[in-house]
A and B are shown apart, each in its own frame.
Chain A
Amino acid sequence: MKNPGLRSLLMTLFLLIVSQPTTWAYQPYRSTGEVVLTERAFRHIMERHWPDSTAAGAGKFQYGITEDGLRALINQAVQNGHSRVNTNGRPGVIYEYDFQRQIGTSIYGQPATRLRVVVNKRNQVVTAFPF
């Protein structure tokens, strides 16, 4: 390539592309980027697992949890946790991570330090709860 300006531009574009988080590249066991918490998933989690939720038999997050705090917990669990294929034919991947500190309460009312996150094939959170 004789045009150094064009070569430089193409190289810059190439480096820009390869440096982007690959959230579009679904990998079954390890997410390489942040997962997406949609408004629908957030509502789903709030209805079942928010501190003031009355849903029985479901772990609850600690009082004071915020949407941003939830996103942080989820991304930490996905990036550092143990992963496995979802069970019983359900699509997606399950991530579990032990924060070694209380993040909520279990279904038995005991302190919960672990988080389970279910992520679908579009890298979107389906549900997340402490246990």
Chain B
Amino acid sequence: MKLDFRLAEPTTDTESWSQADEEDFRYRVALGDLILQIGSKNFGTDWGWIPLIDLVAGLRHIANELQHSGRAETFEFTESESWLRFSRHGDQVIVTASYSPGEARVEYSQFVHAIEELSKQLRAELLQRNSALSENPAFQRLLPGE
């Protein structure tokens, strides 16, 4: 499973990030794309407008909700009717998307680990671009450190 992000460049608004609130992080700043490859299935996007902090916060929420078998959660993208759906079946998570046919399966533990790594990488990348984000309470809440 490859789970990663791609920041839309250039990120000209980084100075304003330190003053951003939750709504900004959920809809307006730190935009980019999702990279998600599971086996031969590609659920990545090439839209450039996905709020990455919201994406990671949403995936963390979903991973938490899928702790028990039989649960299903949907990630709705902010600017379209597109969605990603995650269904827990036993030890596996089945992934489907409205914008890509077919389904893919991944071990739940691997799914959780990939999201944790994604969260760390995004946090590090954004802090590198604006270290003042570490003082932003909304950023800390949505993308917490260790």
Contacts and interface: CB of A to CB of B under 8 A. Distances in A.
Given A106-B81, A129-B79, A88 B58 contact: yes
Given A48-B49, A120-B23, A126-B23, A89 B79 contact: no
Interface-centre pick from B22, B27, B80 (highest chain A CB count, 10 A): B80
B27 to A, nearest CB: 6
A59 B77 CA distance: 12
A90 B46 contact: no
Contacts of A87: 74-76
Interface residues of A, number: 23
Interface string B46-83: 11110000100110011000000000001111111110
Given A90-B26, A90-B54, A55 B76 contact: no
A107 B57 contact: no
B41 interface: no
B57 A56 contact: no
Interface of A is mostly: loop
B28 interface: yes
B57 A59 contact: no
A55 B47 contact: yes
Contact of B27 (A44, A107, A131): A44
Contact of B47 (A57, A88, A106, A120): A57
B88 to A, nearest CB: 16
Interface string A29-60: 00000000000000010001100000111110
Nearest to B58: A88
B57 A127 contact: no
Contacts of A120: 23
B117 to A, nearest CB: 20
Contact of B99 (A55, A57, A131): A57
A104 B136 CA distance: 38
A5 B69 CA distance: 70
Interface string A105-128: 011000000001010100000110
Interface of A: 44, 48-49, 55-59, 87-92, 106-107, 116, 118, 120, 126-127, 129, 131
5 contacts: A55-B49, A58-B79, A89-B61, A90-B58, A127-B78
Given A57-B79, A88-B76, A106-B81, 4 more contacts: A57-B49, A58-B49, A88-B58, A107-B80
- Counting from the closest, the 7 A-B pairs by CB-CB distance are A57-B47, A88-B58, A131-B81, A58-B79, A56-B47, A87-B76, A89-B61
